[in-house]
Structure 1
Amino acid sequence: MAEGLYGPTGFFTDAASGPSQHFRTSAHASALFAGAVVRLVERVDAALGHPKAFDLVDVGAGRGELLATVRAMLPEDLARRARLTAVEVAPRPSRLEEEIAWVREVPDGIVGLLIATEWLDNVPLDVADLDDHGRLRKVLVDPATGDESLGEAVDAADLFWLRRWWPSAGRVEIGWPRDTAWADAVSRVRRGCALAVDYGHLRDERPAWGTLTGFRDGRQVAPVPDGSCDVTAHVAMDSIAAAAGTPYEMTRQREALKALGIDGARPPLDLARSDPAAYLRRLSAAGEAAELLEPAGLGGHWWLLHTVGVDGRGSMLL
């Protein structure tokens, strides 16, 4: 999985095709999502007392689409103070604004907001399944054919994580690498917040057959780790939340976006008569909002927000 996604010819390291050509995230679906991020940035900025420099770090930034849109929307005062950083393994896009830094590793000492939109689902992990004797063994995949076989037994670290977070028998996805990745990212925030937006599940609702799958050209395909497709698995959200070790709140994207000003309401019909152009613009925005809020789609994503060094605050999301 690591080689297929991040190797020399991996899915995310190929400069010729960006992820947006293969699948659609909230950042790609509508600028309304970026607008909600801006409103969250304003809340975090206020909680921090409007620092001289406000860091906005996007982990798994794709081709920088979210940061570029957010930058254009920031209020003037925040725009002057904002330091925007994209974290991505692919080469820097040639058309990205110079004001957006491009790095391979999450920087230290962040004062502001770190955001990871559909990043953790692509952090490589092992999958295990039961053999004929009821023992959990790691699933191996032939990158040339996609054929599966069972390899070595899971080790002690895997079993420790599984007993706590995925105790049900059957095919399992061993999520501790995501815990480690997220805990490390959150640790880079000195003061502010860290937000993970992803599709995932909780301990009592782990899927019996796992979630590992692939995407190519907007279609779900077999998860063959040969670099030709995205290989992804849902995130154990409660596990990553506990691993970071800081206060957090967690809700679905539908509720978070509504709290940040996106409601998806259709414009009144009277507006169509008085200002048809404005009516069409608002109707289009309502359609985009509906996609972001759809419970069976993007609206069902989880929002996990950690706070670091921010005292005396209520909810940042609700």
Structure 2
Amino acid sequence: MWLTWRAATRRALYGDEGFYLRERPGRHFRTSVHVSAAFAGALLRLIDRVDADLGRPDVLDLVDVGSGDGLLPARVLASAPPGLAERLRITAVDLSSRPADLDARISWADAVPDRVEGLVVANEWLDNVPVDIVEQTPSGPRLVLVDPETGAERLGPPPAPEDLAWLDRWWPLNDLDDVDGRRAEIGRPRDEAWASVIVRLGRGTAVAVDYAHHAGARPLLGSLTAYRDGSVVPAVPDGSCDVTAHVALDACAAAGERAGATATTLTTQRAALRDLGVAGARPPIELASADPLGYVRALGRAAEEAELIDPTGLGGFGWLSQLKR
């Protein structure tokens, strides 16, 4: 049975017994949330900024989209000062089942609430919104079809007109000297997914953090890959692994603006986290003699922060922040 990559990935990740319905992400890959509690600490400082911008309302929403094991909202709640913790209305959004040990103050849902006033965070969510893959041929782009059981591929029909329009705007394949065999991932479903978040944001900020690329620097052969048990594996959409592709965050930003965002910042995780106080600085060497255990703990925190802002790793992730008032 031959399917488009979008259809095959949707079934593999979210269909009956799909990968994300039965697995927790932390077993297969490390996100910034799992690397260090400093990521949640930075988001807590962002929450304080959003809270102040909204005038310290009686109820402040925090929505974590693609929450996985709920670790991010759990860490934020555990670190929040009592006054803020009492006002936070936290929703973890995921299609998997609620973790048994999750704090009862955190709601678990399969969709973003209809109206949000506060902060929405989507950390490594958009890369798991399934997309179609196309390959350029002498007659134009053709959809790539895949056998879900083996990962074997063949070319199919041309994309739909709306997808061709997306390619022309965001990932043109015909502006290269040697175009045949070049590939692209049609990011329109991600644009729509992100726009649906912005539509639900009444007032506040929405942040998407992900593997990303931008116009003028798209990968020539696409970015499709897969993970299983902490290792990169061949992308086979049979439900045994996480199938993912990087995100055209600039296209998502434009979709968010069409959906009502009033301000947009598109930067890197390194820049965003440094602005939120994540420095990765080593503690002063004098602390080693004055407080050896404290020095070791501070050195460990510095190493974790350095990993979060490493420009060749997590620090190179795209960070899209959009405001709505």
TM-score normalised according to structure 1 size: 0.95
1:256-302 C-alpha deviation (Å, 9 max, x unpaired): 11111110111111100011011001000011011101111100011
The residue number in structure 1 matching 2:307 is 291
**Correspondence for 2:111 among 105, 117, 137:** 105
1:220-274 C-alpha deviation (Å, 9 max, x unpaired): 1111111110100000011000001122111111111111111011111110001
Partner Cα separation in structure 2 for residue 171 and residue 109 of structure 1: 38
Once the two structures are superposed, the pairs formed by residues 196-215 of structure 1 within 5 Å of their partners are 196-215=208-227
Q: CA deviation at 1:304?
A: 0.7
**Correspondence for 1:148 among 150, 153, 159:** 153
Partner Cα separation in structure 1 for residue 77 and residue 291 of structure 2: 30
1:55-76 C-alpha deviation (Å, 9 max, x unpaired): 0000000010101011001111
Partner Cα separation in structure 1 for residue 280 and residue 120 of structure 2: 26
The residue number in structure 2 matching 1:225 is 237
User: Runs of 5+ in structure 2 lacking a partner?
Assistant: 1-8, 175-181
The residue number in structure 2 matching 1:76 is 82
Indicate conservation of the 8 Å contact 2:136/2:173, yes or no.
Answer: no
Could you tell me which amino acid in structure 1 is paired with residue 147 of structure 2? D
The residue number in structure 1 matching 2:19 is 11
Partner Cα separation in structure 1 for residue 273 and residue 159 of structure 2: 39
1:105-128 C-alpha deviation (Å, 9 max, x unpaired): 110110100000000000011000
1:192-217 C-alpha deviation (Å, 9 max, x unpaired): 00000111011110110000110111
Matched, 1:157 2:173: no
The residue number in structure 1 matching 2:248 is 236
The residue number in structure 1 matching 2:30 is 24
Could you tell me which amino acid in structure 2 is paired with residue 235 of structure 1? V
Could you tell me which amino acid in structure 1 is paired with residue 153 of structure 2? E
User: Runs of 5+ in structure 1 lacking a partner?
Assistant: 310-318
Q: CA deviation at 1:137?
A: 1.0
Q: CA deviation at 1:19?
A: 0.8
Could you list the runs of 4 or more consecutive aligned residues of structure 1 that deviate by over 4 angstroms after TM superposition? none
SS at match of 2:156: strand
Partner Cα separation in structure 2 for residue 82 and residue 32 of structure 1: 19
**Correspondence for 2:196 among 178, 184, 202:** 184
The residue number in structure 1 matching 2:185 is 173
Matched pairs, number: 306
Partner Cα separation in structure 2 for residue 191 and residue 71 of structure 1: 21
The residue number in structure 1 matching 2:316 is 300
The residue number in structure 2 matching 1:315 is none
Q: Which range moved further: 169-178 or 46-55?
A: 169-178
**Correspondence for 1:269 among 282, 285, 298:** 285
1:60-97 C-alpha deviation (Å, 9 max, x unpaired): 00010101011001111110100110010001111111
The residue number in structure 1 matching 2:206 is 194
Q: CA deviation at 1:168?
A: 2.6
Indicate conservation of the 8 Å contact 2:32/2:314, yes or no.
Answer: yes
The residue number in structure 2 matching 1:278 is 294
Could you tell me which amino acid in structure 2 is paired with residue 8 of structure 1? D
Q: Which range moved further: 145-154 or 82-91?
A: 145-154
Q: CA deviation at 1:5?
A: 0.8
Indicate conservation of the 8 Å contact 2:250/2:266, yes or no.
Answer: no
SS at match of 1:304: strand
Q: CA deviation at 1:136?
A: 1.1
The residue number in structure 1 matching 2:93 is 87
Partner Cα separation in structure 1 for residue 315 and residue 59 of structure 2: 32
Partner Cα separation in structure 1 for residue 81 and residue 170 of structure 2: 42
Partner Cα separation in structure 1 for residue 142 and residue 166 of structure 2: 15
Could you tell me which amino acid in structure 2 is paired with residue 157 of structure 1? E
1:12-47 C-alpha deviation (Å, 9 max, x unpaired): 011xx3111000000111000000000000000000
Could you tell me which amino acid in structure 2 is paired with residue 73 of structure 1? S
TM-score normalised according to structure 2 size: 0.93
Q: CA deviation at 1:130?
A: 2.4
Partner Cα separation in structure 1 for residue 132 and residue 279 of structure 2: 39
Matched, 1:47 2:53: yes
Q: CA deviation at 1:135?
A: 2.4
Partner Cα separation in structure 2 for residue 257 and residue 158 of structure 1: 34
Q: CA deviation at 1:9?
A: 1.4
